[in-house]
Amino acid sequence: GASPDVVKVAIVSSTGTPALPKVEVDSAMLYGFYIHCHGHPAAVIHQVRELKKYFPRSPIHLMSDGNMDFSALCELEGCTFALCPPANDRWHPWPFLRRMYDAAVILKTEFVIMLEPDNTIHGPIKQKPAHDAGGLIVKQRSFAGTEYIEKLAQTRVPGFKWTRKSMEAGLCGGSYYRTAAILD
């Protein structure tokens, strides 16, 4: 059941966390949309309907971070939904990364586009992404631990360097990820 502080928009269904399955990506499906939401129902409803208008065959997965239950919307619009416990994933990234992984498994597309309710959809994507991930630029952002991160990454990509430019790319609404990179 839902915690008492969950706003019930519809009957809350249980959402267990599945094991880490192998995923077959449908190569015919280029983009899947993962909406990371908490509230703002009018924005979420509008966003889902705009996605359906511009990407009618693309799958959509909504994840509500411990607040509103959008299962009725997803039943009506043909998307999938998960109501998850609240997580302050800005300080503890595991829930964020796990939910992104779960969305990639559910969507089964070549790319996952992560959206938040404040993102707007203005039309179809005009150019296929050239990289494994991309996001909004946050000028002059940098992180500590560069050597540690580079050492971890070099086990997968020898010679990897975490550049200032790559540190400026944001993991936020509007960013894209190649599913293979998420599942790796």
pLDDT at 25: 57
Q: What is the pLDDT of residue 19?
A: 41
Tokens 């070549």 identify what position? Answer: 110
Residue 115's identity, in one-letter code, is L
φ/ψ (deg, to 5) at 128: -65, 135
pLDDT at 28: 54
Q: Tell me what pLDDT residue 24 has.
A: 59
Do 99 and 83 contact (CB within 8 A), yes or no?
A: no
d(CA 58, CA 37): 19
pTM score, whole prediction = 0.77
CB 81 within 8 A of CB 67: no
H-state helical runs in the chain: 41-54, 71-77, 94-107, 146-154, 164-167, 179-183
pLDDT along the chain (184 residues), means of 10: 37 36 61 94 96 95 93 96 87 87 96 95 91 86 87 90 84 90 90
Query: What's the pLDDT at 21?
Result: 47
Which secondary structure element, helix H or strand E, spans residue 81, and what is its range? Answer: strand 80-84
Burial bucket for residue 142 (CB in 10 Å: 0-12, 13-18, 19+): exposed
